[in-house]
Amino acid sequence: MDKTILVIGTYDTKDEELHYLCDRIRAQGGRVVSMDVSVLGDPSQPTDISKHAVTAAVGKTIQDAIDAGDENGAMQIMALGAAKLTAQLYADGKIDAMVGLGGTMGTDLVLDCAQALPLGVPKFVVSTVSFSPIIPADRLSPDIQMILWAGGLYGLNSVCKSSLSQAAGAVLGAARAVEAPVRNRPVIGMTSLGSSCLRYMKLLTDPLEARGFEVAVFHATGMGGMAFEALARQGYFAAVLDLSLQEMANLMVGSVVHGGADRMTNAGAAGIPQIIAPGCADLIDFAGWQEIPAAYADRPYHTHNRLIKSSVSTGDERRALIREVATRMAEAQGPVHFLMPLLGIEEWDRAGGPAHDPDALAAMIDEVRTSVTVPMTEVDAHINDQAFADAVLAVLDGWIAQGVVRV
C-alpha cells in the first residue's frame, strides 16, 4: 500500500494551489487526506476534514473563531484543532506524513501541526516565509523540512508550481523512504560543537555504545539545541550529557544563535538524569556576515568560518551565566551532576589560543563553587582531555549501578 499524506491549508484563499499540490501527490501514486483550516470562506469542493471538524475538535465552532475579534485569535482556535486532529490521524494510522501550505498565517498554524507529530514522521512546510528570522527556533519540530514557496502569495503560476511540485515529490518520497527511529536501545542525548572546538564526543561515543546506549549528538548552534530540547520534552532520552552550553551563553547576552528560552529546562522537567558541563560557555556567537557589535568589538574573537564567529565573554558574564545555569539545574525533577573542568572549557581557551583568559575562567570556577547546589565534581583537566571523558563516564556508571539510569 502506498503512503497517505495529510495536506493542510486555508482552502478559502489557497484553494487552487492546495488542489494542485494534492493532485501532484496523487499523480505520483500517493493518497491524500485534505484538511481545511479556513475561517471565513469555503473550498471549491469538500475537503476530507472540514473547517467545522477542526473547530469541533477543541469544542468550538467556526462562529467562535469569527467572534474571536481578530485574525490572530481566530487562527489560534484553528491551530489548536488542526494540531489535535493531526496527532489523532497519525495515532489512528490514517496518515504517514504531512505537508502544510501558507503565508505567515498558514505557516503559523502548520508549525503547530508539525510539532504534534513524533520524530520520524515526515513533516513539510511550504511557506512564503520559509527560513525567515521571524520564525523562532522553538516553533520548529526537530525534523521539520521547509520549502520556500517562491511566487506563491496569490494564484498559481509557473514559479510557484515549481515549489509545489517539488514539495509533493519531497513529502511522498520521504514517507516512502523514511527509516523511523526504533527504540530498541536507550538513547543518550549529548550536546557538543564541531571537533575543532570540543572533542569529548569522540572520547565518549564508543564507551557509551559499549554500555548498550545509542548516542545522539546535537550540534549546539541554536537549531541543534532546539531539537535536543524538543526530544527531551518528549522524554526521549534515558539520560543527557549536556556538556556544551554556548547556546545558554548566547541567550544570556541576546545573540540570535541560541536554542530557545527553554534551553536546559526540558530534561529536568521530564525527570531525565543530566550530566552538565560548561563547554564553550566562554564564547558568544555572531553570524559570520555581521559586524561584531560595538559592545564586543574590543575583545578577542575567533572567526570559525563565513557563517559564524565568536567573541570571548568576560568574567562577569560568565558569573551571570553560571548563576542562571545553577538555577535551572536546581529546578530539575531528576538527578543532576555538574562537572567543572578546571583547565579549560574549549580548545581555543588553551594558553596561546584566541580565547585564552585565565582570569575569566577563574571567575567562572569561583562562581561554580559559590552558586551550584547540585552534586558537583571538579576535574583537574581540560574538557577535551581523556580525564574529563572518564569523569563523565564515572558519574554515569554510578547511576547505572544505582538503577537511576537503565541500560
Report pLDDT for 223.
Answer: 81
Say what percent of the chain tops pLDDT 90.
71
**Amino acid found at 243:** L
For the CA atoms of the chain, what is the radius of gyration?
24
Say what percent of the chain tops pLDDT 70.
100
Bigger pLDDT: 101 vs 354: 101
Q: Per-residue pLDDT for 164 more than 90?
A: yes
Alpha-carbon distance of 195 to 346, in angstroms, equals 10
Closest CA to 195 of 245, 137, 244, 249: 244
DSSP per-residue letters across 329-367: HHT-SS-EEEEEETT-SSGGGSTTSTT--HHHHHHHHHH
For the chain, how far is it from start to end, CA to CA, in angstroms? 36
Lowest-confidence region among 82-96, 182-196, 364-378: 182-196
Q: Per-residue pLDDT for 276 more than 80?
A: yes
Report pLDDT for 224.
Answer: 87
Q: Per-residue pLDDT for 297 more than 80?
A: no
Confidence of residue 199 (pLDDT cuts 50, 70, 90): very high
Q: Per-residue pLDDT for 147 more than 90?
A: yes
How does pLDDT run across 81-111, given as a tens digit for each residue?
A: 999 999 999 999 999 999 999 999 999 999 9
Average pLDDT (163-180) is: 94
Report pLDDT for 311.
Answer: 83
Average pLDDT (125-149) is: 87
**Amino acid found at 73:** G
Confidence of residue 293 (pLDDT cuts 50, 70, 90): confident
- Sequence-distant (≥ 6) Cβ neighbours of residue 6 within 8 angstroms: 32, 33, 34, 35, 86, 89, 95, 97, 98, 99
Other Cβ atoms less than 10 A from the Cβ of 375: the count is 12
Confidence of residue 256 (pLDDT cuts 50, 70, 90): confident
Quick check: pTM over 0.75?
yes
Report pLDDT for 6.
Answer: 98
Q: Per-residue pLDDT for 1 more than 70?
A: no
Average pLDDT (182-203) is: 90
In contact, 383 and 200? CB cutoff 8 Å: yes
Q: Per-residue pLDDT for 38 more than 70?
A: yes
Q: Where are the alpha helices (DSSP H) in 183-337?
A: 200-210, 223-233, 246-253, 266-269, 315-330
Average pLDDT (355-376) is: 96
Report pLDDT for 203.
Answer: 96
For 96-163, strand residue ranges (E) read 97-102, 123-127, 145-148
Query: Which phi and psi (to 5°) does residue 90 adopt?
Result: -70, -45
Bigger pLDDT: 184 vs 24: 24
Average pLDDT (343-349) is: 93
Rounded to the nearest integer, the mean pLDDT of the chain is 92
Q: Using CB atoms within 10 A of its CB, is residue 70 exposed (0-12), middle (13-18) or buried (19+)?
A: exposed
Confidence of residue 65 (pLDDT cuts 50, 70, 90): very high
Which domains occur in the chain, in start order? Answer: 4-177 (3.40.50.12020), 187-402 (3.40.50.12030)
